[in-house]
Amino acid sequence: MAPDAGRRMKRIGFAFNPTNAQAVSLNGRALEWCRARGIDAWSAEAGDRAAADPLCPSTEALVVLGGDGTFLRAAQGAHAHDVPILGINSGKVGFLSKAESGDMESVLAGLVAGYAIAIPVGAIAVYLVTLTARTRFAVGAAAGLGTATADGIYATVAVVAGAVVAPLVAAVRTPLTWASVAVLAFLAWRTFRPALQRVLPDGATPRPATADTTPVRAYATLLGLTLVNPATVIYFAVLVAGGALSPDATGAERAVFVLAAFVASASWQMLVAGGGAVLGRALTNDTGQRVTAAVGGLVILALAVHLALGA
Protein backbone atom coordinates (compact mmCIF):
# COMPACT_ATOMS: atom_id res chain seq x y z
CA MET A 1 0.00 0.00 0.00
CA ALA A 2 2.95 2.37 0.38
CA PRO A 3 3.40 4.52 -2.66
CA ASP A 4 6.63 4.71 -4.60
CA ALA A 5 7.70 8.34 -4.78
CA GLY A 6 9.97 7.54 -7.69
CA ARG A 7 7.24 6.00 -9.77
CA ARG A 8 6.19 8.01 -12.83
CA MET A 9 3.82 7.49 -15.71
CA LYS A 10 5.33 5.50 -18.55
CA ARG A 11 3.41 7.14 -21.38
CA ILE A 12 0.76 9.79 -21.79
CA GLY A 13 -1.09 10.61 -25.02
CA PHE A 14 -2.65 13.83 -26.28
CA ALA A 15 -5.52 14.05 -28.78
CA PHE A 16 -6.12 17.52 -30.17
CA ASN A 17 -8.37 19.42 -32.56
CA PRO A 18 -6.17 20.35 -35.56
CA THR A 19 -8.58 23.09 -36.65
CA ASN A 20 -8.35 24.91 -33.31
CA ALA A 21 -5.22 27.11 -33.07
CA GLN A 22 -5.39 27.15 -29.27
CA ALA A 23 -5.57 23.34 -29.13
CA VAL A 24 -2.58 23.05 -31.47
CA SER A 25 -0.61 25.45 -29.25
CA LEU A 26 -1.64 23.53 -26.12
CA ASN A 27 -0.48 20.31 -27.75
CA GLY A 28 2.98 21.75 -28.26
CA ARG A 29 3.14 23.04 -24.68
CA ALA A 30 1.96 19.69 -23.33
CA LEU A 31 4.58 17.70 -25.24
CA GLU A 32 7.31 20.11 -24.10
CA TRP A 33 6.11 19.84 -20.49
CA CYS A 34 6.36 16.05 -20.64
CA ARG A 35 9.76 16.14 -22.35
CA ALA A 36 11.16 18.42 -19.64
CA ARG A 37 10.13 15.88 -17.00
CA GLY A 38 11.28 12.74 -18.80
CA ILE A 39 7.75 11.48 -19.49
CA ASP A 40 7.19 9.63 -22.76
CA ALA A 41 4.40 11.38 -24.67
CA TRP A 42 2.75 11.28 -28.07
CA SER A 43 0.02 13.22 -29.81
CA ALA A 44 -2.44 12.67 -32.64
CA GLU A 45 -5.40 14.42 -34.13
CA ALA A 46 -8.61 13.45 -32.33
CA GLY A 47 -10.39 10.71 -34.24
CA ASP A 48 -7.25 9.58 -36.10
CA ARG A 49 -7.54 5.96 -35.04
CA ALA A 50 -4.82 4.84 -37.47
CA ALA A 51 -2.29 6.98 -35.60
CA ALA A 52 -3.60 6.50 -32.05
CA ASP A 53 -4.61 2.82 -31.93
CA PRO A 54 -1.05 1.38 -32.09
CA LEU A 55 0.01 3.68 -29.22
CA CYS A 56 -3.00 3.38 -26.90
CA PRO A 57 -2.29 -0.11 -25.47
CA SER A 58 0.91 1.16 -23.80
CA THR A 59 -0.58 4.53 -22.82
CA GLU A 60 -1.65 5.11 -19.23
CA ALA A 61 -3.82 8.17 -19.84
CA LEU A 62 -5.18 10.19 -22.77
CA VAL A 63 -5.62 13.95 -22.47
CA VAL A 64 -7.95 15.61 -24.98
CA LEU A 65 -7.23 19.20 -26.04
CA GLY A 66 -10.35 20.76 -27.56
CA GLY A 67 -14.08 21.00 -27.03
CA ASP A 68 -16.79 18.39 -26.58
CA GLY A 69 -16.70 17.27 -30.23
CA THR A 70 -12.96 16.60 -29.96
CA PHE A 71 -13.51 14.75 -26.68
CA LEU A 72 -16.18 12.47 -28.16
CA ARG A 73 -14.03 11.60 -31.20
CA ALA A 74 -11.04 10.76 -29.02
CA ALA A 75 -13.15 8.83 -26.50
CA GLN A 76 -14.00 6.16 -29.07
CA GLY A 77 -10.37 5.06 -29.34
CA ALA A 78 -9.70 5.42 -25.61
CA HIS A 79 -12.71 3.25 -24.78
CA ALA A 80 -11.59 0.56 -27.21
CA HIS A 81 -8.29 0.22 -25.35
CA ASP A 82 -9.53 0.89 -21.78
CA VAL A 83 -7.43 4.04 -21.45
CA PRO A 84 -8.56 6.67 -18.89
CA ILE A 85 -9.40 9.98 -20.57
CA LEU A 86 -9.40 13.57 -19.33
CA GLY A 87 -10.33 16.73 -21.24
CA ILE A 88 -8.80 20.23 -21.20
CA ASN A 89 -11.22 22.62 -22.84
CA SER A 90 -10.03 24.84 -25.68
CA GLY A 91 -13.24 24.84 -27.69
CA LYS A 92 -16.51 26.74 -27.63
CA VAL A 93 -18.34 23.99 -25.72
CA GLY A 94 -16.55 22.09 -22.98
CA PHE A 95 -19.10 20.43 -20.73
CA LEU A 96 -17.21 17.11 -20.96
CA SER A 97 -13.84 18.61 -20.04
CA LYS A 98 -12.60 18.85 -16.47
CA ALA A 99 -10.26 21.83 -16.84
CA GLU A 100 -9.65 24.99 -18.81
CA SER A 101 -6.66 25.66 -21.06
CA GLY A 102 -5.11 28.27 -18.77
CA ASP A 103 -4.64 25.62 -16.09
CA MET A 104 -2.87 23.10 -18.34
CA GLU A 105 0.48 22.81 -16.52
CA SER A 106 -1.18 22.41 -13.12
CA VAL A 107 -3.64 19.92 -14.61
CA LEU A 108 -0.83 17.84 -16.13
CA ALA A 109 1.12 17.87 -12.87
CA GLY A 110 -1.92 16.67 -10.91
CA LEU A 111 -2.86 14.19 -13.61
CA VAL A 112 0.59 12.59 -13.64
CA ALA A 113 0.67 12.47 -9.83
CA GLY A 114 -2.81 10.97 -9.53
CA TYR A 115 -2.31 8.28 -12.16
CA ALA A 116 1.19 7.42 -10.93
CA ILE A 117 -0.14 6.59 -7.47
CA ALA A 118 -3.38 4.93 -8.65
CA ILE A 119 -2.23 2.73 -11.52
CA PRO A 120 0.22 0.34 -9.78
CA VAL A 121 -1.73 -2.82 -8.91
CA GLY A 122 -1.97 -3.22 -5.16
CA ALA A 123 -4.25 -4.57 -2.49
CA ILE A 124 -6.86 -1.81 -2.89
CA ALA A 125 -7.17 -2.56 -6.63
CA VAL A 126 -7.49 -6.30 -6.01
CA TYR A 127 -10.11 -5.71 -3.32
CA LEU A 128 -12.00 -3.32 -5.59
CA VAL A 129 -12.13 -5.87 -8.41
CA THR A 130 -13.35 -8.69 -6.17
CA LEU A 131 -15.86 -6.44 -4.38
CA THR A 132 -17.38 -5.27 -7.67
CA ALA A 133 -17.40 -8.81 -9.09
CA ARG A 134 -19.41 -10.01 -6.08
CA THR A 135 -21.81 -7.04 -5.91
CA ARG A 136 -22.51 -4.57 -8.72
CA PHE A 137 -20.80 -1.69 -10.48
CA ALA A 138 -22.49 1.01 -8.36
CA VAL A 139 -20.91 -0.46 -5.21
CA GLY A 140 -17.49 -0.77 -6.83
CA ALA A 141 -17.66 2.76 -8.26
CA ALA A 142 -18.52 4.18 -4.84
CA ALA A 143 -15.64 2.26 -3.30
CA GLY A 144 -13.29 3.58 -5.97
CA LEU A 145 -14.41 7.14 -5.25
CA GLY A 146 -13.56 6.51 -1.60
CA THR A 147 -9.98 5.67 -2.58
CA ALA A 148 -9.78 8.69 -4.91
CA THR A 149 -11.10 10.94 -2.13
CA ALA A 150 -8.30 9.77 0.16
CA ASP A 151 -5.76 10.51 -2.58
CA GLY A 152 -7.30 13.97 -2.97
CA ILE A 153 -7.12 14.59 0.79
CA TYR A 154 -3.44 13.69 0.95
CA ALA A 155 -2.68 15.73 -2.18
CA THR A 156 -4.31 18.69 -0.41
CA VAL A 157 -2.20 18.14 2.71
CA ALA A 158 0.93 17.95 0.55
CA VAL A 159 0.35 21.21 -1.34
CA VAL A 160 -0.72 23.08 1.81
CA ALA A 161 1.80 21.80 4.37
CA GLY A 162 3.72 18.95 2.77
CA ALA A 163 7.13 20.30 3.83
CA VAL A 164 6.02 20.14 7.46
CA VAL A 165 3.94 16.97 7.45
CA ALA A 166 6.14 14.72 5.28
CA PRO A 167 9.09 14.58 7.74
CA LEU A 168 6.71 13.80 10.60
CA VAL A 169 5.20 10.92 8.64
CA ALA A 170 8.64 9.68 7.58
CA ALA A 171 9.72 9.58 11.23
CA VAL A 172 7.05 6.98 12.01
CA ARG A 173 7.33 5.05 8.74
CA THR A 174 7.99 1.69 10.46
CA PRO A 175 4.87 1.66 12.66
CA LEU A 176 2.87 2.94 9.69
CA THR A 177 4.17 0.03 7.63
CA TRP A 178 3.04 -2.47 10.24
CA ALA A 179 -0.33 -0.74 10.42
CA SER A 180 -0.58 -1.20 6.65
CA VAL A 181 0.30 -4.90 7.05
CA ALA A 182 -2.53 -5.26 9.57
CA VAL A 183 -4.95 -3.53 7.19
CA LEU A 184 -3.87 -5.79 4.33
CA ALA A 185 -4.39 -8.87 6.50
CA PHE A 186 -7.90 -7.62 7.32
CA LEU A 187 -8.60 -6.99 3.63
CA ALA A 188 -7.32 -10.48 2.78
CA TRP A 189 -9.70 -12.08 5.27
CA ARG A 190 -12.64 -9.88 4.21
CA THR A 191 -12.03 -10.81 0.57
CA PHE A 192 -11.41 -14.52 1.18
CA ARG A 193 -14.30 -15.10 3.61
CA PRO A 194 -17.05 -15.67 0.98
CA ALA A 195 -15.05 -18.62 -0.37
CA LEU A 196 -15.68 -20.43 2.93
CA GLN A 197 -19.46 -20.14 2.87
CA ARG A 198 -21.53 -23.30 3.08
CA VAL A 199 -22.39 -24.87 -0.28
CA LEU A 200 -26.16 -24.66 -0.81
CA PRO A 201 -28.22 -27.54 -2.19
CA ASP A 202 -29.28 -27.43 -5.83
CA GLY A 203 -32.18 -25.10 -6.41
CA ALA A 204 -31.55 -23.02 -3.30
CA THR A 205 -31.15 -19.27 -3.68
CA PRO A 206 -27.85 -18.14 -2.18
CA ARG A 207 -27.72 -14.99 -0.07
CA PRO A 208 -25.06 -12.74 -1.57
CA ALA A 209 -21.99 -12.52 0.63
CA THR A 210 -22.16 -8.76 0.34
CA ALA A 211 -25.93 -8.30 0.49
CA ASP A 212 -25.49 -5.68 3.21
CA THR A 213 -22.92 -3.73 1.18
CA THR A 214 -24.30 -0.42 -0.05
CA PRO A 215 -22.52 2.22 -2.13
CA VAL A 216 -22.31 4.51 0.91
CA ARG A 217 -20.79 1.79 3.07
CA ALA A 218 -18.36 0.79 0.31
CA TYR A 219 -17.29 4.43 -0.10
CA ALA A 220 -16.68 4.85 3.63
CA THR A 221 -14.80 1.54 3.88
CA LEU A 222 -12.37 2.26 1.04
CA LEU A 223 -11.91 5.86 2.20
CA GLY A 224 -10.90 4.61 5.64
CA LEU A 225 -8.70 1.81 4.34
CA THR A 226 -6.83 4.19 2.03
CA LEU A 227 -6.47 6.92 4.66
CA VAL A 228 -4.77 4.46 6.98
CA ASN A 229 -1.74 4.78 4.70
CA PRO A 230 -0.58 8.38 5.35
CA ALA A 231 2.73 7.63 3.61
CA THR A 232 0.81 8.77 0.53
CA VAL A 233 1.31 12.36 1.69
CA ILE A 234 5.09 11.83 1.40
CA TYR A 235 4.64 10.86 -2.24
CA PHE A 236 2.73 14.03 -3.07
CA ALA A 237 5.08 16.18 -0.96
CA VAL A 238 8.11 14.82 -2.84
CA LEU A 239 6.44 15.63 -6.16
CA VAL A 240 5.61 19.18 -5.07
CA ALA A 241 9.12 19.76 -3.71
CA GLY A 242 10.61 18.28 -6.88
CA GLY A 243 8.98 20.87 -9.10
CA ALA A 244 5.63 19.32 -9.99
CA LEU A 245 4.28 22.71 -8.94
CA SER A 246 6.12 26.01 -9.10
CA PRO A 247 7.21 27.27 -5.64
CA ASP A 248 5.24 30.45 -6.29
CA ALA A 249 2.14 28.63 -7.54
CA THR A 250 -1.04 30.46 -6.70
CA GLY A 251 -3.79 29.05 -4.54
CA ALA A 252 -5.89 28.46 -7.66
CA GLU A 253 -3.06 26.50 -9.34
CA ARG A 254 -2.63 24.35 -6.24
CA ALA A 255 -6.38 23.71 -6.16
CA VAL A 256 -6.29 22.67 -9.83
CA PHE A 257 -3.39 20.30 -9.07
CA VAL A 258 -5.38 18.62 -6.28
CA LEU A 259 -8.55 18.39 -8.40
CA ALA A 260 -6.62 16.88 -11.31
CA ALA A 261 -4.99 14.32 -9.00
CA PHE A 262 -8.42 13.36 -7.66
CA VAL A 263 -9.96 13.11 -11.15
CA ALA A 264 -7.04 11.00 -12.39
CA SER A 265 -7.30 8.62 -9.44
CA ALA A 266 -11.10 8.45 -9.73
CA SER A 267 -11.04 7.71 -13.46
CA TRP A 268 -8.60 4.85 -12.90
CA GLN A 269 -10.69 3.44 -10.03
CA MET A 270 -13.76 3.50 -12.31
CA LEU A 271 -11.80 1.53 -14.90
CA VAL A 272 -10.81 -1.04 -12.25
CA ALA A 273 -14.40 -1.27 -11.00
CA GLY A 274 -15.57 -1.76 -14.58
CA GLY A 275 -13.17 -4.70 -14.90
CA GLY A 276 -14.63 -6.16 -11.72
CA ALA A 277 -18.15 -5.79 -13.09
CA VAL A 278 -17.18 -7.62 -16.28
CA LEU A 279 -15.60 -10.38 -14.20
CA GLY A 280 -18.74 -10.60 -12.08
CA ARG A 281 -20.94 -11.12 -15.16
CA ALA A 282 -18.62 -13.88 -16.36
CA LEU A 283 -18.54 -15.68 -13.01
CA THR A 284 -22.17 -15.71 -11.94
CA ASN A 285 -22.39 -19.20 -10.48
CA ASP A 286 -21.48 -20.18 -6.93
CA THR A 287 -18.16 -21.76 -7.89
CA GLY A 288 -17.04 -18.72 -9.86
CA GLN A 289 -17.84 -16.42 -6.95
CA ARG A 290 -15.87 -18.62 -4.57
CA VAL A 291 -12.86 -18.77 -6.86
CA THR A 292 -12.90 -15.00 -7.28
CA ALA A 293 -13.00 -14.47 -3.51
CA ALA A 294 -10.28 -17.05 -2.83
CA VAL A 295 -7.85 -15.76 -5.45
CA GLY A 296 -8.38 -12.13 -4.44
CA GLY A 297 -7.87 -12.90 -0.76
CA LEU A 298 -4.68 -14.88 -1.38
CA VAL A 299 -3.21 -12.15 -3.60
CA ILE A 300 -3.83 -9.51 -0.93
CA LEU A 301 -2.33 -11.80 1.73
CA ALA A 302 0.78 -12.24 -0.44
CA LEU A 303 1.08 -8.44 -0.70
CA ALA A 304 0.82 -8.19 3.09
CA VAL A 305 3.61 -10.75 3.56
CA HIS A 306 5.79 -8.94 1.02
CA LEU A 307 5.28 -5.63 2.82
CA ALA A 308 6.03 -7.22 6.21
CA LEU A 309 9.28 -8.74 4.97
CA GLY A 310 10.42 -5.32 3.80
CA ALA A 311 9.48 -3.51 7.03
Identify whether 102 is part of a domain. no
Same domain, residue pair 79 and 130: no
31 exposed, middle or buried (CB, 10 Å; 0-12, 13-18, 19+)?
middle
233 exposed, middle or buried (CB, 10 Å; 0-12, 13-18, 19+)?
buried
Query: What are the backbone angles phi and psi of residue 34, rounded to the nearest 5°?
Result: -65, -45
Same domain, residue pair 163 and 278: yes
Give me the domain span that covers residue 289. Answer: 121-309
Give residue 82's region: left, alpha or beta (phi > 0; psi -120 to 50): left
Same domain, residue pair 190 and 85: no
Same domain, residue pair 87 and 152: no
**pTM for the full model?**
0.74
**CATH code at 16?**
3.40.50.10330
Which of 97, 113, 143 is the C-terminal boundary of a domain? 97
More confident residue, 96 or 297: 297
End-to-end Cα, the chain, rounded Å:
12
Determine contact, residues 131/290, Cβ cutoff 8 Å. no
Same domain, residue pair 64 and 190: no
Residues 47-67: pLDDT tens digits?
A: 898 999 999 888 988 999 988
Identify whether 114 is part of a domain. no
Residues 172-227: pLDDT tens digits?
A: 778 877 887 887 888 788 888 877 776 555 544 444 544 447 899 999 988 988 88
**Domain count within the chain:** 2
Same domain, residue pair 299 and 210: yes
